[in-house]
């Protein structure tokens, strides 16, 4: 809800560009080579994976993210609880930023949007509710094959989206989506176990 309210406020106040520079995750800031540091007062670099989730490029961007969040988040919360969803969201935001940095540590363009954080929830949802049709491959158990298949499918889909959006002026942060999704796959089972102990 906070993401939607803040994003809409930025969009309708005309402050979206300033907000993207202030709060977006800029990979080059990690190495201290950001061009923005000299000209703008920016959010602390360590917080920008979170502040970036509060800034969206438009209503379509925000709307798509909120639909995904509501659909997968509601179902995942039933299994993991509110605390589990909060952990997934935060871990997803940081995993998304880390993956985006690895993909381009010198990139100066701010990464904005909550889709990396939401991808963690999508990853957990896919693992918790997806039908497992995988079979063991030699010593690799069926559950591990299932996780690898989900990761490969999400990565392939996002690479395709990233390639198609590269020349549109609004490139999709494909690496961030993959990083967030991977965090969701890794955390789903541990969070489910914790939830069972808490309840």
| Sole residue written with tokens 């995942």 | 76
C-alpha–C-alpha distance, residues 132 and 110, integer Å: 37
- The confidence band for 198, taking pLDDT boundaries of 50, 70 and 90, is low
Q: What pLDDT digit, counting tens, does each position of 62-101 carry? A: 999 999 999 999 999 999 999 999 999 999 999 999 999 9
pLDDT reported for residue 199: 57
Output the pTM of the full model: 0.88
Q: Which of 119, 124, 132, 182 is nearest to 152 (CA)?
A: 182
According to the model, what pLDDT value does residue 182 have?
Answer: 94
The percent of residues in the chain predicted with pLDDT above 70, rounded, is 95
**pLDDT band (50, 70, 90) for residue 191:** very high
Mean of pLDDT values over 138-149: 80
Structural domains in the chain, CATH included, are: 2-198 (1.20.1540.10)
pLDDT digits (tens, 9 = 90+) for 28-47: 998 777 777 666 788 899 99
139 vs 131: CA distance, rounded Å:
21
Q: How confident is the model at residue 49 (pLDDT cuts 50, 70, 90)?
A: very high
């Amino acid at each position: 809800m906070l993401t939607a309210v803040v994003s809409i406020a930025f969009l309708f106040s005309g402050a979206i560009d300033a907000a993207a520079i202030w709060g977006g995750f800029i990979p080059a800031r990690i190495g201290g080579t950001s061009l923005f540091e000299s000209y703008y007062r920016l959010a602390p670099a360590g917080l920008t994976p979170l502040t970036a989730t509060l800034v969206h490029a438009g209503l379509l961007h925000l709307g798509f993210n909120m639909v995904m969040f509501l659909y997968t988040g509601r179902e995942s919360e039933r299994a993991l609880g509110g605390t589990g969803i909060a952990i997934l969201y935060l871990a997803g935001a940081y995993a998304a930023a880390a993956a985006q940095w690895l993909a381009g540590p010198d990139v100066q363009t701010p990464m904005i949007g909550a889709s990396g954080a939401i991808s963690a929830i999508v990853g957990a949802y896919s693992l918790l509710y997806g039908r497992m049709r995988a079979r063991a491959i030699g010593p690799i158990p069926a559950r591990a094959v299932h996780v690898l298949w989900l990761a490969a499918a999400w990565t392939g889909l996002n690479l395709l989206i990233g390639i198609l959006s590269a020349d549109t002026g609004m490139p999709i942060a494909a690496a961030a989506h993959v990083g967030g999704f991977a965090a969701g796959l890794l955390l789903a089972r541990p969070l489910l176990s914790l939830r069972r102990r808490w309840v």
